[in-house]
Each structure stands twice: as structure tokens, then as C-alpha cells.
Amino acid sequence: MSEKFKALVVNQNGEDFTREIQSLDKSFLKHGDVLVKVEYSGLNYKDALILKNGAKLVKEFPHIPGIDFSGTVVESENKNFKTGDQIILTGRRVGEIYFGGYSQLAKVNGDFLVKKPESISLRQAMILGTAGITALTCAFTTKQAREELLLGEKVEDVVVTGASGGVGSIAVMILNKLGCNVTAVTGKDSNNEYLKEIGAKTITKTSDLDKEARPLDKGLWDGAVDTVGGSMLSKVLSHIKQNGIVAAVGNASGIKLNTTVMPFIIRGVKLWGIDSVHTSTKRRQFLWDEASKLIDFDLLEKSIKEVNLEELLNIFPKMLEGKTSGRYIVNLNK
């Protein structure tokens, strides 16, 4: 194979932050024991922050971003992987402190990798990507953890905030597949029809929930997936019924949470933080194996935009401005 490959490289010199598509030599890759030919990566909110200015997550420059990717092993010094294996990588701080997926070649620690199930393709793996594995974790937490782990009552009515985004939209679909009545919260009326198509029973405007919350309000939902944070999460907590679980995964609306102990000690509500970066390999493999049972990829395709590295540079600022919806995947051969 060629020793040269294309990658998106970010660099910082003082206050000067640059982004450039470069042709690199394989010797540029300095981490890991498995070399992967990358087929697809994704654009997540964290990726957009890193592309803007490193987001204080990148410690060394020059750097290759991209927190997830799928591809094929071309060289391996790891006993668990061999040439030809198709793999998936999400999280593990790849794209932050390790070189990431915005590159035709990536070299990573084999312990970070999961073997792709035969039931999905490399492209479908990145249609889900970090957003999908996070949504799966949230959905299982909100519903299965209460019903099975905590031996609780059936979860029927759930709410998903930021439902137009990557994590939110996939969570809507999964929770619907799991038999829930899903209320989708979105600020984009243009996405209402699509959200209903993927499983939302009810659509609520962001403005209806993004306001100051009472300590306790009318119980509306058995559980929630919150991808927004801030005042939205406070409001959602006040509306959760007895013993409900709220899976919290985002902070686009702010990192501060203004609430009281009332939902927790009066209704037994549980606020369950979701960290998809450090999820164990065993749990990741389980979630990927479950994906094909819970995801309608034909429906998801309607919200997928496939771009190349050059186009990615024009899109990430729009994501930071809240002007994107659905999921962007990056084709490294496009």
C-alpha cells in the first residue's frame, strides 16, 4: 500500500489556529499497534469544538481530529486483530489526545477497537458512530435499567430533548423500537415530520421546556434522554414520574444545573450521567451487536449527509451555531 495518505491536520502556534488537508507519510502516525485504512468517520459536537480551536482537549500539535471511525485493519501487532478485520472505534479520547479518524490511515491501540458485527456495514457503523453508541447507552439506561436492573415498573412515556440532533434522533428511534411513547423536543419545526417518521408520538417545542423549573411539576414521563443540559434538564427533572431515570449526555444549553433535591428524594428520580468515551469494550461490543435490531437504517439515511474532508471544514461552524440537524458522516475516499 502507498506510504502517503490524506488527513485533516490542525495546528496551533500561539494564538494562530489552523486547519489544513495535508498529504502525510505513514511515519507521521505515532500512536498504537494497529494500522487501519479508514473508510468513514463522523462529525460530532465534540469534533466541531476541536476543529474550532482544540477545545482545550488537544494537548499536542500538529494533531489529526476525528473521535470515531470505521475501517479495515491493514497491519497489526495486537493479538486480537489481524489484517482484513473490519473494526469500529468510538471514544477512548482518540481524536483528542490520540490521532483520530479524519485521515485515510489511522494507527491506534488495539484495545480501543471493536470488531464490526456482520449485521451492519462500515458505513452504517458511522451512520451511528459516537452519536449512535451514546443513544443506545441512553436508551438502555432509561428503559432497560429501570425495568430489568432495578426491577421497576414498565417504562412507557419518555421524553428526548435535542431530538433533532445526532444523539437525540437516534434515541427517539431506539426508544420507539423498545415500545415507548416518545415525546421529541426540538426547536426546528422543519424536522417535525421526520421525527414522527422515526418514532416520535408527540412533538414539543424547545421553548416550552427551556424555562425556569419548579422544584416539582406535574409528572409527565417515566424517563428521559437529555442531550441539552442547562435549564432544559432542570425542567425535565421536575416532570419525571416516580422512580424514573434521566440519562444526561449533553451540555449544549449550559453546564450549570439549577435544581433541587425534590425530584430525587420525593419521587426517587435518578439522574444517570452517560460517558460514552470510557465505556468498556465488553459493553461496546454488546451495544454494537444490538444495533441492527433497534435501528432502521433506511429511515436514518434520510437524515444523513455524506461529506469529504474539504466539505467538513465548511460545516463544523454551522453545527456550533445550532444550524445543523441529523448526522454528518465523512467519507475518507470521497
Per-residue exposure over 218-240, b if at least 16 CB sit within 10 Å of its own CB, e if not:
ebbbbbbbbbbbbbbbbbbbbbb
Same domain, 45 and 16: yes
Same domain, 136 and 250: yes
Residue 46 within a domain: yes
Residue 31 within a domain: yes
Residue 124 within a domain: no
Total domains, the chain: 2
Give the contacts of 239 (CB within 8 A, at least 6 positions apart): 159, 217, 218, 219, 220, 221
332, 224 contact by CB (below 8 A)? no
Same domain, 160 and 248: yes
Count other C-beta atoms under 10 Å from residue 40's C-beta.
25
Residue 284 within a domain: no
Same domain, 98 and 234: no
Same domain, 149 and 242: yes
Say which CATH number the domain at 229 has: 3.40.50.720
Same domain, 144 and 267: yes
89, 114 contact by CB (below 8 A)? yes
User: What's the pLDDT at 2?
Assistant: 63
Say which CATH number the domain at 79 has: 3.90.180.10
DSSP labels for 46-90?
A: HHHHHHHH-TTT--SSSB---SEEEEEEEEE-STT--TT-EEEEE
Same domain, 224 and 144: yes
Same domain, 182 and 241: yes
Average pLDDT (316-327) is 86
Average pLDDT (124-147) is 94
Instruction: Inform me whether the pLDDT recorded for 49 exceeds 60.
Output: yes
What confidence category does residue 137 fall into, taking pLDDT thresholds of 50, 70 and 90?
A: very high
Average pLDDT (106-116) is 97
Residue 207: is it exposed, middle or buried by C-beta count within 10 angstroms (0-12/13-18/19+)? exposed
Same domain, 133 and 228: yes
Same domain, 34 and 167: no
Same domain, 245 and 160: yes
Higher pLDDT, 167 or 224: 224
Instruction: Inform me whether the pLDDT recorded for 1 exceeds 80.
Output: no
User: pLDDT for 281-310, tens place per residue?
Assistant: 999 999 999 999 999 999 888 888 999 999
pTM: 0.88
Residue 278 within a domain: no
Give the contacts of 100 (CB within 8 A, at least 6 positions apart): 41, 64, 65, 66, 67, 68, 69, 94, 106
Range of the domain at 69: 4-116+300-331
Residue 190 within a domain: yes
Residue 292 within a domain: no
Same domain, 159 and 30: no
Residue 199 within a domain: yes
Q: Distances from the Cα of 279 to the Cαs of 32, 116, 282, in angstroms?
A: 19, 16, 8
